[in-house]
Amino acid sequence: MMLTAMGRRVFGSLLIIPVLWYVGYFNWWWMTLLQQMLVTVTCLVTLAVMASPKWPDPDMDPVSAIIMNKDKLLPPGSITHLTLVFGFSDCPSLEQVKKHAKTLLDYERFCSVHVPNPKAVFESAWRRVDVEYESHFSEVSVSSVDELETKITHFALKPCFQTNKATGKEDKPRWRMDVVRNTNGRSAVVWRLCHSIGDGIGLLPVGYTMARTMDGKEAKPRTFTRTKPAKTKTDGFGSIMKSVVKDLHTVLNLANGPFDNCTSININGSRPTLIHNGKRRRVDLEFKLSDIKAIRKVTGYTINDIVVALFAGGMRRYMEKMKDPILTDQKDKTDNNKLKITGLAPFAQPRPTKPGQVQNKMVFVHFAFPVNGESLKDRLEKAHNEFQHLKRSIQIPVLNFLTEVGTKLGLESLLAAENTKIWHRTSWIFSNVPGPAEKMMVFGKEMDSFKPFYCNVLHQAIFFSYAGTMSLGLILDSESITDPKLFVQMFDEELREAKKLALDENWCS
Protein backbone atom coordinates (compact mmCIF):
# COMPACT_ATOMS: atom_id res chain seq x y z
CA MET A 1 0.00 0.00 0.00
CA MET A 2 1.48 3.29 -1.12
CA LEU A 3 -0.54 5.57 1.16
CA THR A 4 0.74 6.55 4.57
CA ALA A 5 -1.22 5.57 7.68
CA MET A 6 -2.42 9.17 7.88
CA GLY A 7 -3.43 9.03 4.22
CA ARG A 8 -5.48 5.89 4.72
CA ARG A 9 -7.32 7.48 7.61
CA VAL A 10 -8.03 10.65 5.62
CA PHE A 11 -9.23 8.84 2.52
CA GLY A 12 -11.19 6.36 4.62
CA SER A 13 -13.01 9.25 6.29
CA LEU A 14 -13.74 10.92 2.95
CA LEU A 15 -15.05 7.73 1.35
CA ILE A 16 -17.74 7.38 4.03
CA ILE A 17 -19.36 10.54 2.63
CA PRO A 18 -21.07 8.82 -0.35
CA VAL A 19 -22.61 6.32 2.07
CA LEU A 20 -24.14 9.16 4.11
CA TRP A 21 -25.24 10.83 0.90
CA TYR A 22 -27.00 7.73 -0.48
CA VAL A 23 -28.92 7.10 2.75
CA GLY A 24 -30.30 10.63 2.60
CA TYR A 25 -28.16 12.28 5.27
CA PHE A 26 -27.38 15.15 2.86
CA ASN A 27 -30.39 16.60 1.06
CA TRP A 28 -29.22 20.03 -0.12
CA TRP A 29 -28.56 20.38 -3.86
CA TRP A 30 -25.27 22.23 -3.36
CA MET A 31 -24.14 19.65 -0.85
CA THR A 32 -24.99 16.91 -3.31
CA LEU A 33 -22.90 18.56 -6.00
CA LEU A 34 -20.07 19.06 -3.56
CA GLN A 35 -20.17 15.40 -2.54
CA GLN A 36 -20.10 14.28 -6.16
CA MET A 37 -17.02 16.37 -6.84
CA LEU A 38 -15.34 15.29 -3.60
CA VAL A 39 -16.02 11.60 -4.14
CA THR A 40 -14.81 11.77 -7.74
CA VAL A 41 -11.56 13.53 -6.84
CA THR A 42 -11.00 11.27 -3.82
CA CYS A 43 -11.48 8.10 -5.84
CA LEU A 44 -9.22 9.28 -8.66
CA VAL A 45 -6.45 10.34 -6.29
CA THR A 46 -6.74 7.12 -4.29
CA LEU A 47 -6.54 4.95 -7.42
CA ALA A 48 -3.64 6.99 -8.82
CA VAL A 49 -1.62 6.75 -5.63
CA MET A 50 -2.28 3.04 -5.17
CA ALA A 51 -1.44 2.31 -8.82
CA SER A 52 1.73 4.43 -8.91
CA PRO A 53 4.98 2.46 -9.20
CA LYS A 54 7.22 2.15 -6.20
CA TRP A 55 10.35 4.29 -6.10
CA PRO A 56 13.54 2.53 -7.24
CA ASP A 57 14.98 3.13 -3.78
CA PRO A 58 12.33 2.38 -1.13
CA ASP A 59 14.41 4.32 1.41
CA MET A 60 14.50 7.50 -0.69
CA ASP A 61 13.35 10.57 1.26
CA PRO A 62 11.70 13.65 -0.29
CA VAL A 63 14.34 15.99 1.18
CA SER A 64 17.15 13.85 -0.20
CA ALA A 65 15.53 13.71 -3.64
CA ILE A 66 15.14 17.50 -3.72
CA ILE A 67 18.83 18.00 -2.86
CA MET A 68 19.91 15.44 -5.45
CA ASN A 69 18.03 17.48 -8.05
CA LYS A 70 19.02 20.88 -6.67
CA ASP A 71 19.84 22.24 -10.13
CA LYS A 72 16.17 21.86 -11.02
CA LEU A 73 14.44 22.53 -7.70
CA LEU A 74 16.65 24.90 -5.67
CA PRO A 75 17.80 28.44 -6.47
CA PRO A 76 21.06 28.58 -8.49
CA GLY A 77 24.15 28.61 -6.29
CA SER A 78 22.49 26.77 -3.39
CA ILE A 79 24.95 25.05 -1.04
CA THR A 80 23.70 21.77 0.39
CA HIS A 81 26.36 20.56 2.80
CA LEU A 82 26.21 20.54 6.59
CA THR A 83 29.33 21.78 8.40
CA LEU A 84 29.90 20.12 11.78
CA VAL A 85 32.77 21.61 13.80
CA PHE A 86 34.34 19.51 16.58
CA GLY A 87 36.47 21.73 18.83
CA PHE A 88 39.57 20.46 20.66
CA SER A 89 42.27 21.85 22.94
CA ASP A 90 44.33 18.70 22.25
CA CYS A 91 43.85 18.10 18.54
CA PRO A 92 43.57 14.49 17.32
CA SER A 93 45.97 13.40 14.62
CA LEU A 94 44.83 12.81 11.07
CA GLU A 95 45.45 9.08 11.55
CA GLN A 96 43.25 9.04 14.67
CA VAL A 97 40.44 10.73 12.76
CA LYS A 98 40.72 8.23 9.91
CA LYS A 99 40.72 5.32 12.36
CA HIS A 100 37.56 6.39 14.21
CA ALA A 101 35.71 7.56 11.08
CA LYS A 102 35.86 4.08 9.51
CA THR A 103 32.51 3.41 11.14
CA LEU A 104 31.00 5.62 8.41
CA LEU A 105 31.63 2.80 5.94
CA ASP A 106 29.00 0.74 7.78
CA TYR A 107 26.33 3.12 6.44
CA GLU A 108 25.04 2.77 2.89
CA ARG A 109 24.78 6.47 2.07
CA PHE A 110 28.37 7.18 3.09
CA CYS A 111 29.41 4.66 0.43
CA SER A 112 27.00 5.80 -2.27
CA VAL A 113 26.56 8.61 -4.80
CA HIS A 114 23.58 10.48 -6.18
CA VAL A 115 21.65 9.15 -9.15
CA PRO A 116 19.37 12.13 -9.86
CA ASN A 117 16.42 11.85 -12.22
CA PRO A 118 15.35 15.35 -13.32
CA LYS A 119 12.35 13.98 -15.26
CA ALA A 120 10.99 12.10 -12.24
CA VAL A 121 12.69 13.67 -9.24
CA PHE A 122 11.40 11.19 -6.69
CA GLU A 123 12.60 8.27 -8.74
CA SER A 124 16.14 9.38 -7.97
CA ALA A 125 18.25 6.85 -6.11
CA TRP A 126 21.57 6.03 -4.46
CA ARG A 127 24.29 4.02 -6.20
CA ARG A 128 26.96 2.26 -4.16
CA VAL A 129 30.56 2.82 -5.28
CA ASP A 130 34.02 1.80 -4.19
CA VAL A 131 35.10 4.39 -1.60
CA GLU A 132 38.58 5.87 -1.97
CA TYR A 133 38.70 6.33 1.79
CA GLU A 134 41.98 8.26 2.08
CA SER A 135 40.80 10.94 -0.36
CA HIS A 136 38.06 12.03 2.07
CA PHE A 137 40.59 13.41 4.60
CA SER A 138 43.11 16.22 4.80
CA GLU A 139 44.99 18.29 7.38
CA VAL A 140 45.80 22.01 7.35
CA SER A 141 47.72 24.13 9.85
CA VAL A 142 46.87 27.59 11.18
CA SER A 143 48.68 29.77 13.70
CA SER A 144 45.88 31.67 15.45
CA VAL A 145 42.23 31.47 16.45
CA ASP A 146 41.40 34.09 13.81
CA GLU A 147 42.97 31.92 11.10
CA LEU A 148 41.04 28.92 12.45
CA GLU A 149 37.73 30.80 12.24
CA THR A 150 38.54 32.00 8.72
CA LYS A 151 39.23 28.43 7.63
CA ILE A 152 35.99 27.16 9.18
CA THR A 153 34.07 29.94 7.44
CA HIS A 154 35.67 28.95 4.13
CA PHE A 155 34.62 25.33 4.66
CA ALA A 156 31.06 26.31 5.62
CA LEU A 157 30.36 28.78 2.83
CA LYS A 158 32.09 27.33 -0.22
CA PRO A 159 30.78 24.41 -2.31
CA CYS A 160 32.88 21.32 -1.69
CA PHE A 161 31.31 18.52 -3.73
CA GLN A 162 31.55 18.43 -7.50
CA THR A 163 30.63 15.94 -10.20
CA ASN A 164 33.38 14.39 -12.29
CA LYS A 165 34.00 16.97 -15.05
CA ALA A 166 35.11 14.29 -17.50
CA THR A 167 32.03 12.07 -17.15
CA GLY A 168 29.51 14.53 -15.74
CA LYS A 169 28.53 11.91 -13.17
CA GLU A 170 28.90 11.36 -9.46
CA ASP A 171 31.84 9.13 -8.56
CA LYS A 172 32.58 10.01 -4.94
CA PRO A 173 30.35 9.96 -1.82
CA ARG A 174 29.60 13.49 -0.61
CA TRP A 175 31.42 13.77 2.68
CA ARG A 176 34.88 14.69 3.93
CA MET A 177 36.79 15.52 7.12
CA ASP A 178 39.49 18.16 7.55
CA VAL A 179 41.75 18.46 10.58
CA VAL A 180 42.50 22.14 11.21
CA ARG A 181 45.49 22.11 13.56
CA ASN A 182 46.17 25.38 15.37
CA THR A 183 49.71 25.88 16.65
CA ASN A 184 48.53 28.69 18.97
CA GLY A 185 45.23 27.72 20.54
CA ARG A 186 42.22 25.52 20.02
CA SER A 187 41.96 23.31 16.95
CA ALA A 188 39.06 21.67 15.12
CA VAL A 189 37.99 18.75 13.00
CA VAL A 190 35.51 19.91 10.36
CA TRP A 191 33.12 17.29 9.00
CA ARG A 192 31.28 18.32 5.85
CA LEU A 193 28.57 16.13 4.38
CA CYS A 194 25.75 16.65 1.94
CA HIS A 195 22.38 17.17 3.62
CA SER A 196 20.95 14.55 1.26
CA ILE A 197 22.62 11.88 3.42
CA GLY A 198 20.52 12.60 6.47
CA ASP A 199 18.94 15.07 8.89
CA GLY A 200 20.08 15.80 12.44
CA ILE A 201 18.17 12.94 14.06
CA GLY A 202 19.34 10.55 11.36
CA LEU A 203 22.99 11.56 11.68
CA LEU A 204 23.11 11.59 15.47
CA PRO A 205 23.67 7.83 15.93
CA VAL A 206 26.29 7.93 13.16
CA GLY A 207 28.28 10.58 15.03
CA TYR A 208 28.09 8.58 18.26
CA THR A 209 29.90 5.66 16.63
CA MET A 210 33.03 7.86 16.60
CA ALA A 211 32.63 8.85 20.27
CA ARG A 212 33.22 7.40 23.72
CA THR A 213 32.32 8.55 27.20
CA MET A 214 35.12 10.14 29.23
CA ASP A 215 35.74 6.80 30.98
CA GLY A 216 36.08 5.00 27.65
CA LYS A 217 32.64 3.36 27.45
CA GLU A 218 30.47 3.22 24.36
CA ALA A 219 28.60 6.50 23.88
CA LYS A 220 24.87 6.20 23.28
CA PRO A 221 22.69 8.94 21.80
CA ARG A 222 19.77 10.32 23.72
CA THR A 223 16.37 9.00 22.72
CA PHE A 224 14.09 11.79 21.60
CA THR A 225 10.37 11.31 22.09
CA ARG A 226 7.83 13.95 21.28
CA THR A 227 5.76 14.42 24.41
CA LYS A 228 2.16 15.46 24.20
CA PRO A 229 1.41 18.83 25.80
CA ALA A 230 -0.53 18.73 29.05
CA LYS A 231 -4.24 19.29 28.61
CA THR A 232 -5.61 22.63 29.70
CA LYS A 233 -9.05 23.98 30.45
CA THR A 234 -9.15 25.51 26.98
CA ASP A 235 -8.78 22.12 25.27
CA GLY A 236 -12.50 21.81 24.56
CA PHE A 237 -14.03 20.94 21.21
CA GLY A 238 -14.40 24.58 20.22
CA SER A 239 -10.76 25.32 21.00
CA ILE A 240 -9.59 22.27 19.08
CA MET A 241 -11.65 23.22 16.03
CA LYS A 242 -10.30 26.78 16.22
CA SER A 243 -6.76 25.37 16.23
CA VAL A 244 -7.54 23.10 13.26
CA VAL A 245 -9.01 26.00 11.27
CA LYS A 246 -5.94 28.12 12.06
CA ASP A 247 -3.61 25.37 10.85
CA LEU A 248 -5.56 24.78 7.65
CA HIS A 249 -5.60 28.52 6.98
CA THR A 250 -1.83 28.66 7.58
CA VAL A 251 -1.08 25.73 5.27
CA LEU A 252 -3.35 26.98 2.48
CA ASN A 253 -2.07 30.57 2.60
CA LEU A 254 1.66 30.07 3.21
CA ALA A 255 2.60 30.22 -0.45
CA ASN A 256 0.55 33.34 -1.23
CA GLY A 257 0.57 35.19 2.08
CA PRO A 258 2.32 38.44 2.93
CA PHE A 259 6.11 38.72 3.05
CA ASP A 260 7.99 39.34 6.28
CA ASN A 261 8.10 43.13 6.59
CA CYS A 262 11.17 44.02 8.68
CA THR A 263 13.67 45.06 6.02
CA SER A 264 16.69 45.26 8.33
CA ILE A 265 16.22 41.48 8.79
CA ASN A 266 14.93 40.33 5.40
CA ILE A 267 14.67 42.10 2.05
CA ASN A 268 13.07 39.18 0.20
CA GLY A 269 9.91 41.25 -0.22
CA SER A 270 11.82 43.45 -2.67
CA ARG A 271 13.21 40.48 -4.61
CA PRO A 272 11.08 39.12 -7.45
CA THR A 273 12.17 35.52 -6.74
CA LEU A 274 13.90 33.51 -4.04
CA ILE A 275 17.64 33.57 -4.68
CA HIS A 276 20.89 32.37 -3.15
CA ASN A 277 23.00 35.47 -3.75
CA GLY A 278 26.23 33.97 -2.40
CA LYS A 279 26.60 36.79 0.13
CA ARG A 280 26.86 34.94 3.43
CA ARG A 281 28.54 35.61 6.77
CA ARG A 282 29.13 33.06 9.53
CA VAL A 283 28.99 34.23 13.15
CA ASP A 284 28.45 32.40 16.42
CA LEU A 285 28.18 32.88 20.15
CA GLU A 286 28.67 30.60 23.15
CA PHE A 287 26.94 31.05 26.51
CA LYS A 288 26.14 29.00 29.60
CA LEU A 289 23.20 26.62 29.47
CA SER A 290 22.76 27.32 33.20
CA ASP A 291 21.76 30.91 32.32
CA ILE A 292 18.84 29.59 30.27
CA LYS A 293 17.93 27.14 33.02
CA ALA A 294 17.90 29.97 35.57
CA ILE A 295 15.37 31.81 33.41
CA ARG A 296 13.37 28.59 33.09
CA LYS A 297 13.31 28.17 36.86
CA VAL A 298 11.80 31.63 37.37
CA THR A 299 9.40 31.64 34.43
CA GLY A 300 8.37 28.00 34.10
CA TYR A 301 8.78 28.14 30.33
CA THR A 302 10.67 25.55 28.29
CA ILE A 303 14.22 26.07 27.05
CA ASN A 304 12.87 26.28 23.50
CA ASP A 305 10.36 28.98 24.51
CA ILE A 306 13.18 30.94 26.11
CA VAL A 307 15.68 30.79 23.22
CA VAL A 308 12.94 31.75 20.74
CA ALA A 309 11.91 34.72 22.91
CA LEU A 310 15.53 35.82 23.43
CA PHE A 311 16.24 35.48 19.72
CA ALA A 312 13.17 37.60 18.92
CA GLY A 313 14.30 40.17 21.48
CA GLY A 314 17.75 40.26 19.92
CA MET A 315 16.19 40.85 16.51
CA ARG A 316 14.04 43.65 17.96
CA ARG A 317 17.13 45.34 19.44
CA TYR A 318 18.98 44.98 16.14
CA MET A 319 16.04 46.51 14.24
CA GLU A 320 16.05 49.46 16.64
CA LYS A 321 19.80 49.98 16.20
CA MET A 322 19.46 49.80 12.41
CA LYS A 323 16.43 52.13 12.49
CA ASP A 324 14.21 49.68 10.64
CA PRO A 325 11.52 51.71 8.78
CA ILE A 326 8.69 49.63 10.20
CA LEU A 327 9.71 50.81 13.69
CA THR A 328 10.56 54.43 12.90
CA ASP A 329 7.32 54.89 10.94
CA GLN A 330 5.09 53.67 13.78
CA LYS A 331 2.39 56.18 14.74
CA ASP A 332 1.14 54.38 17.84
CA LYS A 333 1.48 51.06 19.68
CA THR A 334 -1.18 49.40 17.52
CA ASP A 335 1.32 49.50 14.65
CA ASN A 336 3.53 47.19 16.71
CA ASN A 337 1.23 44.30 15.85
CA LYS A 338 2.10 44.74 12.18
CA LEU A 339 5.67 43.52 12.71
CA LYS A 340 6.13 40.18 10.96
CA ILE A 341 9.17 37.92 11.07
CA THR A 342 8.58 34.21 10.55
CA GLY A 343 10.62 31.05 10.62
CA LEU A 344 10.51 27.44 9.52
CA ALA A 345 11.37 24.87 12.17
CA PRO A 346 12.40 21.40 10.94
CA PHE A 347 10.40 18.72 12.75
CA ALA A 348 11.92 15.25 12.53
CA GLN A 349 9.49 12.53 11.49
CA PRO A 350 9.36 9.10 13.14
CA ARG A 351 11.45 6.62 11.23
CA PRO A 352 12.28 2.91 11.60
CA THR A 353 15.77 2.10 12.82
CA LYS A 354 17.57 0.06 10.20
CA PRO A 355 21.19 -1.12 10.49
CA GLY A 356 23.42 0.74 8.05
CA GLN A 357 20.69 3.21 7.06
CA VAL A 358 20.56 6.98 7.57
CA GLN A 359 17.35 8.84 6.81
CA ASN A 360 16.26 12.36 6.03
CA LYS A 361 12.65 12.64 7.13
CA MET A 362 11.61 16.09 8.26
CA VAL A 363 8.81 18.58 7.73
CA PHE A 364 9.25 22.34 8.00
CA VAL A 365 6.65 23.91 10.29
CA HIS A 366 5.88 27.62 9.95
CA PHE A 367 5.85 29.86 13.03
CA ALA A 368 6.00 33.56 13.95
CA PHE A 369 8.76 35.09 16.07
CA PRO A 370 7.29 37.26 18.88
CA VAL A 371 9.11 40.43 17.75
CA ASN A 372 5.98 42.48 18.45
CA GLY A 373 6.22 41.74 22.18
CA GLU A 374 6.94 44.95 24.07
CA SER A 375 8.90 43.23 26.84
CA LEU A 376 10.74 39.96 27.40
CA LYS A 377 7.82 38.79 29.51
CA ASP A 378 5.46 39.42 26.58
CA ARG A 379 7.78 37.68 24.14
CA LEU A 380 8.12 34.64 26.41
CA GLU A 381 4.36 34.29 26.66
CA LYS A 382 3.90 34.66 22.90
CA ALA A 383 6.67 32.14 22.15
CA HIS A 384 5.18 29.69 24.62
CA ASN A 385 1.70 30.00 23.13
CA GLU A 386 3.04 29.63 19.58
CA PHE A 387 4.94 26.43 20.29
CA GLN A 388 2.23 24.96 22.51
CA HIS A 389 -0.04 25.36 19.51
CA LEU A 390 2.52 23.72 17.22
CA LYS A 391 2.70 20.71 19.53
CA ARG A 392 -1.04 20.19 18.96
CA SER A 393 -0.87 21.37 15.36
CA ILE A 394 -2.09 19.39 12.37
CA GLN A 395 0.47 21.23 10.21
CA ILE A 396 2.91 18.32 10.44
CA PRO A 397 0.56 15.49 9.35
CA VAL A 398 -1.11 17.69 6.70
CA LEU A 399 2.20 18.83 5.16
CA ASN A 400 3.66 15.34 5.39
CA PHE A 401 0.54 13.86 3.77
CA LEU A 402 0.53 16.41 0.93
CA THR A 403 4.21 15.76 0.27
CA GLU A 404 3.78 11.98 0.25
CA VAL A 405 0.73 12.04 -2.04
CA GLY A 406 2.12 14.74 -4.31
CA THR A 407 5.40 12.94 -4.84
CA LYS A 408 3.67 9.64 -5.60
CA LEU A 409 1.53 11.45 -8.21
CA GLY A 410 4.56 13.02 -9.88
CA LEU A 411 3.71 16.56 -8.80
CA GLU A 412 7.20 17.36 -7.52
CA SER A 413 7.57 20.45 -9.74
CA LEU A 414 4.34 21.90 -8.36
CA LEU A 415 5.34 21.05 -4.79
CA ALA A 416 8.78 22.60 -5.30
CA ALA A 417 7.26 25.76 -6.78
CA GLU A 418 4.87 26.14 -3.84
CA ASN A 419 7.65 25.43 -1.36
CA THR A 420 9.84 28.08 -3.01
CA LYS A 421 7.04 30.63 -2.63
CA ILE A 422 6.76 29.77 1.08
CA TRP A 423 10.51 30.16 1.64
CA HIS A 424 10.49 33.43 -0.27
CA ARG A 425 8.04 34.80 2.33
CA THR A 426 10.02 33.55 5.32
CA SER A 427 13.13 34.89 7.05
CA TRP A 428 14.68 32.04 9.05
CA ILE A 429 15.33 28.34 9.26
CA PHE A 430 15.50 27.88 13.03
CA SER A 431 16.64 24.83 15.04
CA ASN A 432 17.17 24.17 18.73
CA VAL A 433 18.94 20.86 19.33
CA PRO A 434 19.78 19.40 22.76
CA GLY A 435 23.15 17.66 22.64
CA PRO A 436 25.13 15.53 25.12
CA ALA A 437 24.92 16.71 28.74
CA GLU A 438 28.43 15.46 29.56
CA LYS A 439 31.76 15.88 27.80
CA MET A 440 32.78 13.13 25.37
CA MET A 441 35.85 11.67 23.70
CA VAL A 442 35.67 12.02 19.91
CA PHE A 443 38.39 10.72 17.57
CA GLY A 444 40.18 9.59 20.74
CA LYS A 445 40.44 13.10 22.26
CA GLU A 446 38.31 15.14 24.65
CA MET A 447 35.93 17.31 22.65
CA ASP A 448 35.60 20.84 24.02
CA SER A 449 32.81 22.10 21.78
CA PHE A 450 30.51 21.17 18.93
CA LYS A 451 28.94 23.65 16.50
CA PRO A 452 26.77 22.85 13.48
CA PHE A 453 26.31 25.27 10.56
CA TYR A 454 24.31 25.19 7.34
CA CYS A 455 24.56 27.70 4.48
CA ASN A 456 20.88 27.89 3.56
CA VAL A 457 18.90 29.91 1.06
CA LEU A 458 17.44 31.80 4.06
CA HIS A 459 19.13 32.95 7.27
CA GLN A 460 19.98 29.83 9.29
CA ALA A 461 20.08 29.77 13.10
CA ILE A 462 21.04 26.65 15.05
CA PHE A 463 21.11 26.47 18.85
CA PHE A 464 23.04 23.46 20.13
CA SER A 465 23.88 22.48 23.70
CA TYR A 466 26.91 20.43 24.73
CA ALA A 467 28.26 19.71 28.22
CA GLY A 468 26.71 22.75 29.89
CA THR A 469 27.48 25.18 27.06
CA MET A 470 25.02 26.43 24.48
CA SER A 471 26.08 27.76 21.10
CA LEU A 472 24.23 29.86 18.57
CA GLY A 473 25.52 29.23 15.05
CA LEU A 474 24.37 31.70 12.41
CA ILE A 475 24.88 31.88 8.67
CA LEU A 476 23.31 35.12 7.47
CA ASP A 477 22.50 36.71 4.16
CA SER A 478 24.64 39.83 4.57
CA GLU A 479 22.62 41.71 1.98
CA SER A 480 19.69 41.63 4.40
CA ILE A 481 21.43 41.62 7.80
CA THR A 482 24.24 44.00 6.95
CA ASP A 483 25.99 43.93 10.35
CA PRO A 484 26.13 40.28 11.52
CA LYS A 485 28.44 41.04 14.47
CA LEU A 486 26.00 43.65 15.79
CA PHE A 487 23.20 41.13 15.41
CA VAL A 488 25.04 38.68 17.70
CA GLN A 489 25.83 41.49 20.17
CA MET A 490 22.13 42.35 20.38
CA PHE A 491 21.25 38.74 21.19
CA ASP A 492 23.95 38.72 23.87
CA GLU A 493 22.56 41.98 25.26
CA GLU A 494 19.07 40.49 25.42
CA LEU A 495 20.43 37.42 27.22
CA ARG A 496 22.31 39.53 29.80
CA GLU A 497 19.16 41.56 30.48
CA ALA A 498 17.16 38.35 30.93
CA LYS A 499 19.76 37.02 33.40
CA LYS A 500 19.34 40.15 35.51
CA LEU A 501 15.56 39.80 35.46
CA ALA A 502 15.83 36.12 36.43
CA LEU A 503 17.41 37.15 39.75
CA ASP A 504 14.00 38.55 40.71
CA GLU A 505 11.81 35.61 41.66
CA ASN A 506 8.69 37.78 41.32
CA TRP A 507 9.58 38.85 37.78
CA CYS A 508 6.98 36.71 36.01
CA SER A 509 4.47 36.43 38.84
Residue range 189-206, pLDDT digits in tens? 999 999 999 988 889 889
The percent of residues above 90 in pLDDT, for the chain, comes to 50
Radius of gyration for the chain, computed over Cα atoms and rounded to the nearest angstrom: 24
Contacts of 296 (CB under 8 A, 6+ apart): 302, 303, 306
Distance CA 50, CA 53 (A): 8
What confidence tens digit (pLDDT) does each residue in 373-417 have? 989 999 999 999 998 888 777 777 777 777 766 766 667 777 778
80 or 231, greater pLDDT: 80
Per-residue pLDDT band for 3 (boundaries 50, 70, 90) equals very low
pLDDT of residue 44: 67
Q: What is the mean pLDDT of residues 280-288?
A: 96
Q: Which residue has the higher pLDDT, 291 or 56?
A: 291
Return the pLDDT at 4.
Answer: 47
Question: In the predicted model, is pLDDT for residue 113 greater than 90?
Answer: yes
Burial grade of 75 (CB within 10 A; 0-12, 13-18, 19 or more): middle
The 3-state DSSP class for residue 257 equals coil
Q: Is the pLDDT of residue 24 over 60?
A: no
- Measured in whole angstroms, the distance separating CA 116 from the mean position of its chain's CA atoms is 23
Average pLDDT over residues 118-122: 76
Instruction: Name the pairing type of β-strands 175-182 and 137-142.
Output: parallel
Q: Is the pLDDT of residue 53 over 60?
A: no
Closest by alpha carbon to 218, among 102, 353, 100, 107? 100
pLDDT of residue 255: 77
**Range 20-38 average pLDDT:** 59
Phi, psi of 148 (to 5 degrees): -60, -50
* Mean pLDDT across 132-139: 95
> Cβ–Cβ contacts within 10 Å for residue 368, how many?
17
User: What is the structure's pLDDT at 226?
Assistant: 57
The DSSP letter of residue 459 is: E
Residue 135 predicted with pLDDT over 80: yes
Strands 125-128 and 469-477: unpaired
Confidence class of residue 258 from pLDDT cuts 50, 70 and 90? confident
- 366 pLDDT exceeds 60? yes
- The confidence score (pLDDT) of residue 508 equals 64
